[in-house]
Chains A and B, each alone.
Chain A
């Protein structure tokens, strides 16, 4: 392996690692705030990428019906849950947020999808369609069992994953799609050819990670979310609503997933079930971080990206086996190093 191949593999690893890093951060965030190991995190990647690809091709993405359905179900559940305490402003709020907004978005998509819209407009529309699914899924599936054990929540998230996979097949079909790149240019850096889209992926990842760092480190809202992760009851006692924290965490996770899918859709062909394997690698990075540390999750994700690229070069048939086998030494090391400790 000469230096050109090494550089190429590192580049490949960094691009993949960037996406895994974003997903790992989402896994850690969701687990820390809600105790949910959200297996369906990768499905947001597939939904984001495929919705964007469909809009670019001028067709109406089937995911609009999922958004509308989730909104209506969440709204009905909200009415039932709050039936004894409903006020007029609250009724209007539920109607606007859960019924009118998603249905209006569906209408907009049906109207504009056949036209050739600007790249950024399609991106924004794809995000607007996929990101709200996160909080809706939390409200419908996880808020009612917020006090359940981690195992029950995990089973719930597996259920959501299979539902999203099944609906994904229905909405997008079994064929794969690839979107056009935002920038088609390529650059020659030393011996390596670097595509502008690859730089966009890494740049966007870096920007998002810096954004997360500033949000959690500098803003009261970010600190409140971290507080809910550190000590849920303590957070509740200062008025940080566990439900609001859960919705916010799912909103951020869905955003991370959808934007990841949009960014990689010009680099790789996405299928309705592609998100699972991509998500699983972010999940491995989250395990490396013990589902607790954001910097470790990022470092683990980059390491997994590079390990994947190198193993694909040397033993492509065993690529996934090698990547997932990395969990074992990490788990053994963590179980030796980190004794069990109770919540604060």
Chain B
């Protein structure tokens, strides 16, 4: 399978504190790859640096193009979208305005079609299209954040903890949507607290500890890794 994104020797520091140290990641052109690890392992920092939000050392290639020095907006234009852990919505703006701004940089000429697609995928957002984003529930906010990212019709969608703080039923819906997105051909890089759920939908996984990647491989193998199970899946055998 073709490689969509490769990051090599990627390091990110917050001042003198090294949060991510010389990691290497390779993402295929389709399917789900998950990044799992304990809190503070550097997962979100990795996603933010791949998006260009945080400055990083190393090299990042996307579709054969060196994007190491590219600013966020260029990465968005090339087809990378990030749904951050904080959602980062425009809370004082309507649901529809939030969505329309999703194609500000990419896919603007097909914004109308993309909006209907997003409404088809998230009917709740259509019902609330004129409502302010600040008035949405946690699940709806997550749907809006994902919908806004999808408006750009990204080639790579990075999801940071999409189930964080949501009720189990809504988490199930979110995972169903993530699987649907994978089936529609979008490459997904997923960070998820629920490591088992993430590995069940992913084809491959990377495990991060203290800013370094300690293990990676097919999701089927990782889910049966005894040490991993004890450390991250919360199960003792």
Nearest Cβ in chain A — how far from B47, in angstroms?
11
Asked if A322 is at the interface (CB within 8 A of a chain B CB), the reply is no
- List which B186-217 residues lie within 8 A (CB) of chain A: none
The one of B51, B88, B91, B104 that contacts A220, using a Cβ cutoff of 8 Å: B104
Nearest Cβ in chain B — how far from A115, in angstroms?
44
- 30 inter-chain pairs at a CB distance below 8 angstroms, sorted by A residue, are A84-B69, A220-B104, A220-B108, A223-B101, A230-B93, A231-B88, A231-B89, A231-B90, A231-B91, A235-B90, A236-B72, A236-B73, A237-B53, A237-B72, A237-B84, A237-B149, A238-B102, A238-B104, A238-B105, A239-B76, A239-B77, A240-B101, A240-B104, A240-B105, A241-B73, A244-B73, A344-B86, A344-B88, A344-B89, A344-B91
Instruction: Encode A19-56 as 1/0 by CB contact (under 8 A) with B.
Output: 00000000000000000000000000000000000000
Instruction: Encode B59-86 as 1/0 by CB contact (under 8 A) with A.
Output: 0000000000101110011000110101
Extra contacts besides A234-B87, A237-B149 (4): CB < 8 Å: A227-B101, A231-B90, A238-B148, A240-B73
Asked if A143 is at the interface (CB within 8 A of a chain B CB), the reply is no
Count residues of chain B with CB under 8 A from any CB of chain A.
32
The one of B81, B93, B97, B100 that contacts A237, using a Cβ cutoff of 8 Å: B81
| Chain B residues whose CB sits within 8 angstroms of the CB of A319 once the complex forms | none
Asked if A200 is at the interface (CB within 8 A of a chain B CB), the reply is no
Q: Could you tell me if A233 and B53 are in contact, using CB atoms closer than 8 angstroms? A: yes
Asked if A85 is at the interface (CB within 8 A of a chain B CB), the reply is yes
Q: Could you tell me if B84 and A230 are in contact, using CB atoms closer than 8 angstroms? A: no
Cα separation A237 to B160 with both chains bound (whole Å): 13
- List which A229-280 residues lie within 8 A (CB) of chain B: 230-231, 233-241, 244
Count residues of chain A with CB under 8 A from any CB of chain B.
20
> Majority SS of interface residues in chain B?
loop
Cα separation A231 to B166 with both chains bound (whole Å): 22
| Chain A residues whose CB sits within 8 angstroms of the CB of B88 once the complex forms | 231, 233-234, 237, 344
Asked if A224 is at the interface (CB within 8 A of a chain B CB), the reply is yes
Q: Could you tell me if B152 and A230 are in contact, using CB atoms closer than 8 angstroms? A: no
- List which B157-203 residues lie within 8 A (CB) of chain A: none
Asked if B106 is at the interface (CB within 8 A of a chain A CB), the reply is yes
| Chain B residues whose CB sits within 8 angstroms of the CB of A235 once the complex forms | 90, 101
Q: Could you tell me if A233 and B84 are in contact, using CB atoms closer than 8 angstroms? A: yes
Cα separation A230 to B132 with both chains bound (whole Å): 13
Q: Could you tell me if B91 and A230 are in contact, using CB atoms closer than 8 angstroms? A: yes
Cα separation A231 to B91 with both chains bound (whole Å): 8
Chain B residues with CB under 8 Å of chain A are 51, 53, 69, 71-73, 76-77, 81-82, 84, 86-93, 97, 100-106, 108, 134, 148-149, 152
Asked if A91 is at the interface (CB within 8 A of a chain B CB), the reply is no
| Chain A residues whose CB sits within 8 angstroms of the CB of B89 once the complex forms | 231, 234, 344
Asked if A94 is at the interface (CB within 8 A of a chain B CB), the reply is no
| Chain B residues whose CB sits within 8 angstroms of the CB of A223 once the complex forms | 93, 97, 100-101
The one of A220, A227, A239, A244 that contacts B90, using a Cβ cutoff of 8 Å: A227
| Chain A residues whose CB sits within 8 angstroms of the CB of B82 once the complex forms | 237
| Chain A residues whose CB sits within 8 angstroms of the CB of B102 once the complex forms | 238
Nearest Cβ in chain A — how far from B101, in angstroms?
5
| Chain B residues whose CB sits within 8 angstroms of the CB of A227 once the complex forms | 90, 93, 101
Cα separation A224 to B148 with both chains bound (whole Å): 13
Q: Could you tell me if A237 and B51 are in contact, using CB atoms closer than 8 angstroms? A: yes
| Chain B residues whose CB sits within 8 angstroms of the CB of A226 once the complex forms | 90, 93
Nearest Cβ in chain B — how far from A344, in angstroms?
4
Give the residue name and chain of the B residue nearest to A236 (CB): B72
Nearest Cβ in chain B — how far from A19, in angstroms?
28
